[in-house]
Amino acid sequence: MQDNIIPVITIDGPTASGKGTVASRVAERLGFHLLDSGALYRLTALSALRAGANLADETAVAQVGHYLDCSFVGDQVFLGKEEVTEAIRAEEVGNSASRIAALPAVRQALFDLQLRFRTAPGLVADGRDMGTVIFPGAQLKVFLTASVAARAERRYKQLIGKGFSANMDGLLADLQARDARDMNRAVAPLAPAADAHLLDTSNMTADEAVEQVLGWYAEK
């Protein structure tokens, strides 16, 4: 099946908007492949941190991304043969990923890798620029939003539930800083595609959001 007829659903949005959960469940319901593009940046950040690379050195970090050896098996994320699903969710890695995502050379290094995830029978791509940059011709584009307070509460529960320490005030400040970086970066700033469906999940359950996305896709 040619790439241009393999269906793609893009689900973009800010940190902790629920896009990862929604994308995973939509992919499962449709039997599609899943691309967690944010994980690619987190994997690059984790690799760069472990290698002692200077995160401000764009060329060095881009090299790490270019040679990234990663894979996704169900809900598990692998760096080489090491399972790093929890490691890439640490706050230091998340903050570092947001910083390096603003570097044009890093984004270019990961561009081709993301395109290769488009395989039959279809793909659900979760990220920040899936509908605007990576898959601009996607059959369905969704942009998830939620209030900063709602996102901070979700992130707090997620971290506590996984055994990480968390502070609500710190999470609020962190999310606001990440939003500012993501929306104001020079390359592929966080913004909904012109033809994206906007979905505010502040007062929605994940199941409700999934049903809405599936309903939009059925209309296509």
Is 44 annotated as contributing to ligand binding? no
Whether omega for the bond prior to residue 121 falls within 30 degrees of 0, making it cis, is yes
Question: In a 3-state reduction of DSSP, which class is residue 62?
Answer: helix
Is 47 annotated as contributing to ligand binding? no
Pairing label, strands 8-12, 82-83: unpaired
Is 20 annotated as contributing to ligand binding? yes
Is 119 annotated as contributing to ligand binding? no
- At how many degrees (to 10) do helices 19-30 and 206-219 cross? 50
Q: 59-63: list long-range contacts, CB under 8 Å, 24+ apart.
A: 59/105, 61/100, 61/103, 61/105, 61/106, 62/103, 62/105, 62/106, 62/108, 62/109, 63/109
Is 149 annotated as contributing to ligand binding? no
Count of C-beta atoms within a 10 Å radius of residue 2 = 6
Is 21 annotated as contributing to ligand binding? yes
Is 220 annotated as contributing to ligand binding? no
Is 18 annotated as contributing to ligand binding? yes
Is 17 annotated as contributing to ligand binding? yes
Residues of each annotated binding site for ATP: 13-21
Residues of each annotated binding site: 13-21
